[in-house]
Chains A and B, each alone.
Chain A
């Protein structure tokens, strides 16, 4: 029987290093669960666990597109604001046309357009991604607030609400969406040539360009995908809380970034996986859930998330040094 050490030294096995990394992270999640189970009676209840799954699905959907962006050594700070705008527009459309499908198309379409705009800022205008998406975040927030003028839209058709708050075979619907996009995302990243090109861009954009990779087109693609996933996530939120207002999704930007980083994707580009992001989303959701159960004031959450991000980056730095 092969031990983990065998797996690492046996060079024949593909991705053995990656698999090991993921196992470590899963271990961290299990430890976290064990700790919370000890600290709180409520944690291991079916209700809570299903809630955690539902929330994880949402966070993962947001973070999956973001993973692609970070793989190219970029960043998308506008995902939260993107969710807000997409959700509000989708909500309006559902209310005015009565058609959930049209609303969904609007939501995802808006998200994708915003993503594309980010992509253009980064590729055509050569603005560093963190600045461009930071500026975009403010613009989107402004536009959304202006559009909503402080009001709330609520009351969506029950069929639509199933998407966010319903169950299928006892499992929350968003989980199915999550699994679907986990497969799509992992397939795209590891088993398509576009995915390989994206990894190459992250590892060395100059060499990628000189190898015939259409760098600008791929970058525009990843930002558009990140935006579209934000749009999808906005629909799930809408379906779950059954209302839309100017500031929804705002609190999700930091956790999404944290999920990607905790999942093993490096800020500096070129390494990371979509599956890892799922583990990261799981970890973060469980942590925040635990904080809620332990009745820690919600103001602590951005603080803790910020610290986790810093920690993840620091660890990433250290491992890079050792690798060199």
Chain B
């Protein structure tokens, strides 16, 4: 048998086991001889950088992909998983990040989608039974809600619970969760952890993928680290530390915290926002940003930060208050803001920041077309030259500006978005989660970029959900809560604890 100590429950044979799984895609070896044990009643954490193979492994487990090599064992018996139906017979269920719920059906109908109970007449379904059974499952999960509620009106956390109920209704004994707390508030995260504890008690095995090391240690019974498609280690939380884990994930000792060598002295006031309110979910916002500063905008997911950013940039409507850029009153139009030197690097670079089918060069020059061609005529050669200058300056890894930007890696794509605004001579940048979905190694580069920007006199407002980032990168920060500014932290007051304290519901 395997030599590692089992968790707190003594089981000889794991509930499910994958052995020697390998999978190749054209040009990429996604998984190389990975073995993974799943034990009942245990939370098994799966960690690794983006591209390490975590989601490929889980897709193979749930039958969405087929492994090129490797074997599966259910309670020690060799089995095969060829498709998702087979996976389901072994009780494997995945809670996706993008929920698979139908908005205008109610909770019960969503739970039993595909497995409706037949009614008396042929072809009809028994709605009553669907609703009573749903209630039973919801109670089991501890979710107290009327199963007739339409999914449409539910919040993210509630939808997630419906997804979990859905998995349980199919007698899931192995639950896979991929970054489940990414969009949850602290209180909702607590509820989720309570639910997970309940599930553990019922013998359900949980595979939990997360980037948040605090969660990994708080919740995990066992941790497996993947790197470049290989399993690097499988250990107990007691056997390791966060820094050690990161070293395993990255393969080299990495300074997880980027420290800024020098901070420029703040210059003139670049952005001044007074009493700003808007229908998209914020009220009475006051903030200032000076040249040479990186000001953080912190707060929980849903506290209204992105809404404020969009309103400042001019994309969303404002009902009260004023915005002054370089002393002049502006508002209402993204085109105007861009022309005056404001930049917005949005949260989701693929859907909001880039035209994926267009070339790197076309993307880079888009915001600065007017500046580059004041007469209105577009000259491709001049555009490419400008694009090449930016590519060089930001060290974007692409052989030529003509490649479609979709072929670039996440970090380089983010550089293209930044480059777009650099090319437009922006002097004030709003970054919304600048390092989301970017590898640890590339993050440092992005921060170096930000540093360079402010050293050349620009001003930055940075939204981030990673408190560590805010503390290390920003000069000071505002914390938002429920659509309002809960407080401002000066450089000395800038600690993770203070940010959290201001950000939570009292």
A residues near B (Cβ < 8 Å) are 11, 14, 190-197, 199-200, 203-204, 206-214, 270-271, 323-324
Contact = CB atoms under 8 A, between A and B. Distances in A.
A212 B402 contact: no
B354 interface: yes
A210 B376 contact: no
A-side binding surface: helix, strand, loop or mixed?
A: helix
Given A192-B378, A197-B369, A210 B355 contact: no
A204 B334 contact: no
B11 interface: no
B354 A214 contact: no
8 contacts: A190-B380, A193-B369, A200-B362, A208-B355, A211-B334, A211-B367, A211-B420, A212-B335
B377 A209 contact: no
Contact of B358 (A194, A200, A214): A200
Contact of A200 (B339, B344, B366, B377): B366
Contact of A193 (B315, B344, B378): B378
Nearest to B379: A191
A235 to B, nearest CB: 28
A192 to B, nearest CB: 6
A191 B357 CA distance: 19
A196 B355 contact: no
A206 B352 contact: yes
Contact of A212 (B339, B376, B380): B339
Contact of B402 (A14, A204, A323): A14
B354 A204 contact: yes
B76 to A, nearest CB: 42
A192 B420 CA distance: 18
Nearest to A189: B378
Contacts of A211: 334, 338, 366-367, 420
Interface in B350-401: 351-358, 362, 365-367, 369-370, 373, 376-380, 399-400
Given A11-B400, A200-B366, A207 B355 contact: yes
Contacts of A206: 351-352
Interface centre among B355, B367, B400, B420 (most CB of A within 10 A): B355
A7 to B, nearest CB: 13
A195 B369 CA distance: 11
B355 A203 contact: yes
A270 B358 contact: yes
Contacts of A191: 377-379
Closest 8 CB pairs of A and B: A212-B338, A203-B355, A193-B369, A204-B355, A211-B367, A214-B335, A211-B366, A212-B335
A272 to B, nearest CB: 12
Given A207-B352, A271-B357, A213 B335 contact: yes
B346 interface: yes
B357 A270 contact: yes
Given A193-B369, A210-B334, A211-B338, A199 B358 contact: yes
B333 interface: yes
Interface residues of B, number: 36
A11 B334 contact: no
A146 to B, nearest CB: 40
A212 B357 contact: no
Given A14-B402, A191-B379, A196-B378, A204 B366 contact: no
A193 B370 contact: yes
Contacts of B380: 14, 190
Contacts of B334: 209-213
B344 A203 contact: no
A14 B373 CA distance: 19
B464 interface: no
B110 interface: no
A63 to B, nearest CB: 23
| Residue picked from A192, A196, A212, most chain B C-beta under 10 Å | A212
A213 B337 CA distance: 11
Given A191-B378, A193-B376, A209 B358 contact: no
Contacts of A323: 357
A196 B344 contact: no
B349 to A, nearest CB: 9
B384 to A, nearest CB: 8
Given A213-B335, A214-B335, A192 B377 contact: yes
B94 to A, nearest CB: 24
B410 to A, nearest CB: 16
A270 B354 CA distance: 13
A316 to B, nearest CB: 13
B309 to A, nearest CB: 10
Contacts of A190: 378, 380
Given A11-B400, A200-B355, A210 B362 contact: no
A203 B352 contact: no
B341 to A, nearest CB: 11
A194 B376 CA distance: 8
A196 B370 CA distance: 11
Given A210-B344, A212-B335, A196 B369 contact: yes
Nearest to A271: B357
A324 B350 CA distance: 14
B399 A195 contact: no
A35 to B, nearest CB: 34
B377 A213 contact: no
A159 B339 CA distance: 49
A209 B379 CA distance: 22
Given A203-B357, A206-B352, A211-B338, 12 more contacts: A11-B400, A191-B378, A191-B379, A192-B376, A193-B378, A199-B358, A200-B366, A209-B334, A212-B334, A212-B339, A213-B335, A323-B357
A204 B369 contact: no
A210 B306 CA distance: 13
Between A197, A204, A207, the greatest number of chain B beta carbons within 10 A of the residue's beta carbon is seen for A207
Interface in B237-265: none
Nearest to B401: A11
A212 B353 CA distance: 11
A39 B362 CA distance: 47
A210 B346 contact: yes
Contacts of A214: 333, 335
Nearest to B421: A211
Contacts of B424: 212
Contacts of A208: 355, 366
B356 A204 contact: yes
Contact of B366 (A194, A195, A213, A270): A213
A169 to B, nearest CB: 31
Contacts of A193: 369-370, 373, 376-378
